[in-house]
Each structure stands twice: as C-alpha cells, then as structure tokens.
Amino acid sequence: LLGPNGAGKTTLISVICGLVTPSSGTISVAGHDIIRDYKAARSTIGLVPQELHTDAFEKVIDTVQFSRGLFGKPRDDAFIEKILRDLTLWDKRNSKIMELSGGMKRRVMIAKALAHEPRILFLDEPTAGVDVELRKDMWRLVRRLRETGVTIILTTHYIEEAEEMADRVGVINKGQ
C-alpha cells in the first residue's frame, strides 16, 4: 500500500485490524466481519504497527509468548524459538526490551505479530528508521512468509520497496 505521509495508510490498516471503528460500511477478513466477529477476524491477522508498543521491563521471550496466548494459542516453545531465531533474536531472548536497540525492538514487534501464526500480516512502514541490515533481514523474512502462504500487506512511501517486494501495489492518497 503505497502513499505519501498522511495519506491514510495507517488509518486503513487500523480499521481492517479492528483497532478503529469504521464510520460506514463493513469489513470482512477471511470471511469474518471485523465488528460482529472481531475475535475470529483478528485471530487471522498479525500487525506490526509503526510505533513500538511493548513493556520496556519485559523479557523478549515473555512478550512474544504472551502475544501468542492472547489469541488462545497453546504454548509452543519450539515455534517461538524458531521465530526468534529467524529474526536473530534468540540470543536476546532473556534481555529486557529496554536493553535493545531500535532495530531489535522492531524485530520483537514482528515476532509478536507472528506468534499466533496469522494468515495475514500487516507491516505498517516496516523499514522506517531501520538500518540496512535489518531492512535486508525483514525482506528475507517477508519472502519466506510469502512462500509459506502468509499474505503480507505493507505500507510504504518508498516506491522502490513497493516495486521490489509486491505482487500488487495499491496507491492511497488523501484517504482515496
């Protein structure tokens, strides 16, 4: 989803994810109405927001495991380990969030979004303010997720990223 700053990309994602109530119309995700069947719709979605929202005093592994539990998924230490290894976070699993760099915190947000094994993953401006290494790692991860059947919807205002990563590009400007 390509568009300039302030175009409405984050607002659209927030409505689709059920974080903001739409002013009109309906939205269905995987056949579930986002208002009437919120829990079922939301369980199919992973969201990595633009802003980092985590408990600074919580350990990496605890916050990722907690996110999995929020969606009613049983504990799966092997799956959580795989996610953390894929995101090069395994060595930081016992670190508190506040001890991590900005790039590592972004990786934690991705791990949290993947913890419940969503079919659709929203990445809101995933490369904003990240270093080149993390950008490359994220694109590798996105490619792997796509290969496993996860639908990736990302917002960006970089046309180069959209062209490189997307099967399809939607353009939004002034909410249209």
Write down the CATH number for the domain with range 9-165: 3.40.50.300
Flag whether the pTM goes above 0.75: yes
The closest alpha carbon to 142, from 132, 157, 154, belongs to 154
**Sequence ranges of the domains in the chain:** 9-165
pLDDT tens for the chain, 176 residues long, are 988 888 899 999 999 998 998 889 999 999 999 999 999 999 999 999 988 888 899 999 999 999 999 988 999 999 999 999 988 899 999 999 999 988 889 889 999 999 999 999 999 988 777 778 778 877 888 888 888 889 999 888 778 877 877 889 999 988 88
Contact (CB, 8 A) for 18 and 42 = yes
Could you report how far apart the first and last alpha carbons of the chain are, in Å? 12
The closest alpha carbon to 161, from 139, 143, 140, belongs to 139
